[in-house]
C-alpha cells in the first residue's frame, strides 16, 4: 500500500502545527505567558511561550510537518516499491 504524499504531508503539518499551538496555550493557561525562549524556540525562530509565539509555532509546525511528512511518505513509497520488486 502506497501513501498519498500530499495528503500525508498536509496531515502531518496540521497535526504538528496544532500540537505546538495547543501545547503553548496549555502552558500559558497554567503558568502564564512567560515570553521566555524554549528548546523549541532554539529550532523555530521567534517561538516563545506567549500568544504571539503560539501562532509562530503554528506556522513553523505547519511548514516543518509538511516537509517532514512529504519526505517520510516519499521514502516509504520508495521502499515499498523497492522491496515489492525484490520479493
pLDDT in tens, 2-20: 999 999 999 999 999 999 9
Predicted TM-score of the model (pTM): 0.86
Are the C-beta atoms of residues 70 and 11 closer than 8 Å to each other?
Answer: no
Average pLDDT over every residue of 37-65: 92
pLDDT in the model for residue 35: 79
Average the pLDDT over 59-84 and give the result: 96
Amino acid at each position: 500500500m502506497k501513501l498519498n504524499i500530499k495528503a500525508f504531508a498536509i496531515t502531518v503539518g496540521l497535526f504538528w502545527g496544532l500540537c505546538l499551538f495547543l501545547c503553548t496555550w496549555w502552558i500559558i493557561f497554567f503558568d502564564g505567558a512567560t515570553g521566555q525562549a524554549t528548546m523549541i524556540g532554539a529550532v523555530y525562530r521567534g517561538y516563545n511561550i506567549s500568544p504571539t509565539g503560539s501562532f509562530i509555532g503554528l506556522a513553523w509546525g505547519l511548514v516543518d510537518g509538511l516537509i517532514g511528512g512529504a519526505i517520510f511518505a516519499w521514502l516509504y513509497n520508495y521502499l515499498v516499491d523497492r522491496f515489492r520488486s525484490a520479493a
